[in-house]
Structure 1
């Protein structure tokens, strides 16, 4: 599987992407909002490229990868001339992590593009959050503490970030990484209920809500099944769920009916008309809004191995994500 065609991008026209539910600062977007430009380390580029070449089934679970873009060498001031961080910059680093100092970025599809009000849930997978072979002891100790004090340790996943559309405020409620760390295995289902609150609205039919949740569940299960047949290590990877948060828009998507069937006495279309209709249908498919997306993301510490066996660290997390989704479906009985 080859990367999708790389679009022409003017680095001077890129803008900061401020809609992420989690992740590092420094992510950019193109003017259309269709693409994300994410500063990254070589390991993540290599993982995308190897996955496209050798693991096409898993590549379908990843955001569409289009290549890399040079951003220019990052400006790193000397300690003597290093400016004092503003409180806003300190808060940003605290919530999203420091900006990756890299002159290279990967160009990916923006998974939020095409939604009216995209709710986003980032679930960080695994109880072991770092590669023990490459992580410094101080950082390892800090991540071990995060795991032990959160559902990462008990369920092999935790809520890393979330944003949910509020119809009352007409804006998003933002839930940062500290929100996710407060949950235990016994009450983390509350985060699911908050994220999928639109499905419990009187505007959404119960059967439609169940069908949507079951489809999302099936996508998570697909990811687990693929990893159960592979040899890999995906430390600190996430499963990202994007769902339409506007109930009117969501209801129209869930209740959409297929195209009407022409009556028997209609004139058969010519070959030229058929070709034009097919082209229009392809354009419509590209622009058609969707109710949800489920993708695996964050591969800075991911690799395919030849003799490492299954990645039980990640697989267990996916199983528990499935179990919580199944419990949410049960609330509609």
Structure 2
């Protein structure tokens, strides 16, 4: 893999330590924790149809890199020499030139296709601690689950951003919001992330189309996970959609186009002409953060994660009903 440079990459709802991005913003370089790397490799190598069905719903995994030293803007890049820039300023100020990152995952950057992405990270599951966690962390995570929406609903809203139509800047809602609301207040949270046209938000008909398509994908993810025996501790569902109305509408029209018309048009064109890829999709939804995800043969699916996805489906239904009534 050849890149020009690696720079900072912000994350919504997750840790930023060790997360880098290529200069073209198409790829993320993320510290590879052993369990997460094992998970990505297992998915990539799997032949079991139940496991391969998960591939479309996780970020595309392009392999690993070993990132060493500090960034050198004047150094040439090659497949084996990529200047790197640590995400934190404290890291970039170090002078020990040690390999701080070790093996790193190379993943697609899910935000890249979007002009102004609205982004929501939803923590899944009722259990927040790994089987190897120390007792003090277990106690802390149990309390967090009990005092937030996690234990009751199997999900918790973490940080999210929604672009302001007037300023053109993203407005961040911090993780403290998701920890502070009750299960009964979840509709308010989904309304904040899926607002209807105003200072923030898409026109109601356009937002409704995105919500309907998004719900179908979340249902597909739920169906896939119901057939896989694993435990997803700390994993999230990441939802993105385009806040630029014109761009979102163009993407929707392309997704909902008549494939028969496309086939007829292609027959009328020269066979050597390259087929247009079309505009970017107006939304995306993926599972992310697998640092504590393991396959658990004989133990069935993760009921806590399935509960969380059921809650999300219910909240999407509620939001669609509210948008239809406008």
* TM-score bin, normalised by smaller chain: 0.7 to 0.9
> What CA deviation, in whole Å up to 9, does each residue of 1:250-308 have, x standing for no partner?
2333355848969x9x9x857xx2122xx242xx34xx321100100000000112111
Alpha-carbon distance between aligned partners in 2 of 1:314 and 1:89, rounded to the nearest angstrom: 35
Q: Report how far residue 51 of structure 1 moved.
A: 1.4
Q: Report how far residue 208 of structure 1 moved.
A: 3.6
- Work out the number of aligned pairs and report it: 289
Q: Report how far residue 201 of structure 1 moved.
A: 8.3
Q: Report how far residue 63 of structure 1 moved.
A: 0.7
Structure 1: 5+ residue runs without aligned partners? Answer: 1-6, 75-87, 91-100
Which of residues 299, 312, 324 is equivalent to 1:308? 299
Which residue is equivalent to 1:322?
313
Q: Report how far residue 202 of structure 1 moved.
A: 11
Which residue is equivalent to 1:81?
none
> What CA deviation, in whole Å up to 9, does each residue of 1:206-237 have, x standing for no partner?
44432321111111111111111111111111
Which residue is equivalent to 2:107?
108
Contact 1:159–1:181 under 8 Å retained in 2: yes
Which of residues 286, 298, 301 is equivalent to 2:289? 298
Which residue is equivalent to 1:247?
245
How do residues 99-178 of structure 1 correspond to structure 2 at under 5 angstroms? Answer: 102-131=101-130, 133-178=131-176
Q: Report how far residue 108 of structure 1 moved.
A: 0.7
Which residue is equivalent to 1:188?
186
Q: Report how far residue 72 of structure 1 moved.
A: 2.8
Alpha-carbon distance between aligned partners in 1 of 2:287 and 2:201, rounded to the nearest angstrom: 30
User: In the alignment, is residue 224 of structure 1 matched against residue 237 of structure 2?
Assistant: no
Q: Report how far residue 8 of structure 1 moved.
A: 2.0
Which residue is equivalent to 1:3?
none
Alpha-carbon distance between aligned partners in 2 of 1:197 and 1:17, rounded to the nearest angstrom: 26
Alpha-carbon distance between aligned partners in 2 of 1:50 and 1:215, rounded to the nearest angstrom: 29
Alpha-carbon distance between aligned partners in 2 of 1:159 and 1:168, rounded to the nearest angstrom: 25
User: In the alignment, is residue 67 of structure 1 matched against residue 63 of structure 2?
Assistant: yes
TM-score, normalised with respect to structure 1: 0.79
TM-score, normalised with respect to structure 2: 0.81
Aligned partner of residue 197 in structure 1, secondary structure: coil
Which residue is equivalent to 2:20?
28
Aligned partner of residue 217 in structure 1, secondary structure: helix
> For residues 313 and 247 of structure 1, do their structure 2 counterparts lie closer, same or farther at Cα, with a shift above 3 Å needed?
same
Which residue is equivalent to 2:74?
none
> What CA deviation, in whole Å up to 9, does each residue of 1:131-164 have, x standing for no partner?
2x21111111221222111111221100121011
Alpha-carbon distance between aligned partners in 2 of 1:219 and 1:203, rounded to the nearest angstrom: 21
Structure 2: 5+ residue runs without aligned partners? Answer: 71-87, 91-99
What CA RMSD, in Å, does the superposition of the two structures yield over aligned residues? Answer: 2.8
> For residues 174 and 89 of structure 1, do their structure 2 counterparts lie closer, same or farther at Cα, with a shift above 3 Å needed?
farther
Q: Report how far residue 124 of structure 1 moved.
A: 0.2
